[in-house]
Amino acid sequence: MDEQFEGLKNAANEPEALRHLETAARGLGFDSVLFAVIPQPRVDAGQVYLRSNYPARWREHYDRHDLRATDPTVAYCFRSNSPLVWMQQSFETPAQQALYEEASAHGLKVGVTLPVRGVEGEIGMLTCVRDETPGSAFLKDVHRNLGSLSLLRDVAFDALHPYLQPAVQTAAPAEPMPVLTAREHDCLRWMCAGKTAWEIGRILGISEAGVNFHIANLRGKFGVHRRNDVVLKAIRLGLADLPGATPALAPAPRGSR
């Protein structure tokens, strides 16, 4: 194992572990790194354990505008176990494209997101990012280093796991459990699998407009405004499960994540 990986594995404290994580990511050619984990399945996403060396102004902007709900890399980690190589075409909707333009202005142009799964129900991500113009050279380099990136994700999770629990010392108040119809349950299940409204309609034999009607009802019952937040809250409340792994490495959901 590389010296930096060994240093991360044997770090005596959290700051030391984070230094080794950043150094190991740089050794693989990445300028920035983010490690984020929701410590328990039913913990509110606001209590996420998150450490990064992203530009502070970008993190402040991201949090202030709740861009987590728009970020396709976040949604991806709730529906897949395989790595996602992302670049500009991975951000498909107008809101996602705006997010990418803002992120790239802060030097976050291309990256790899590796979903985290813990044996105690933890879920999260390790994201390594470069300030580099997207292209074939980046993809070739990432494919060559994918094994090392996956190992870095696993070692980072083991090294930082002891520091996750303070994020959940104060339990969130119990939330009311929404009552869903059978059709809403069906739609929710396929939403968690990452299906579009059109795809759900084909699966269930109903119109896309009918699916959107049920999704609107789900947003109302969960008290959220965005589709991704329905999925996040359903998982947290135990009304939906994380799906199993999906097929391997893909540069982007449509442009191919």
Share of the chain above pLDDT 90, in %: 53
87: left (phi over 0), alpha (psi -120 to 50) or beta: beta
Is the C-alpha dihedral spanning 172, 55, 131, 159 positive or negative?
negative
216-221 long-range contacts (CB < 8 A, ≥24 apart) are 217/181, 217/184, 218/180, 218/184, 218/187, 218/188, 218/191, 221/178, 221/179, 221/180, 221/184
Residue-wise pLDDT for 71-127, tens only, equals 999 989 888 889 999 999 999 999 999 999 999 999 999 999 999 988 778 889 999
Distance of alpha carbon 188 from alpha carbon 212, whole angstroms:
11
Residue-wise pLDDT for 56-71, tens only, equals 999 999 988 888 888 9
Looking at per-residue pLDDT, the higher value among 47 and 10 belongs to 10
pLDDT band at 253 (very low <50, low <70, confident <90, very high): very low
Look up residue 89 and give its two tokens. 């075409």
Q: Say yes or no to pLDDT of 247 above 70.
A: no
Q: Do the bridges between strand 84-86 and strand 49-52 make them parallel or antiparallel, or are there none, so unpaired?
A: unpaired
Identify the structural domains of the chain with CATH numbers, from first to last. Answer: 3-168 (3.30.450.80), 182-236 (1.10.10.10)
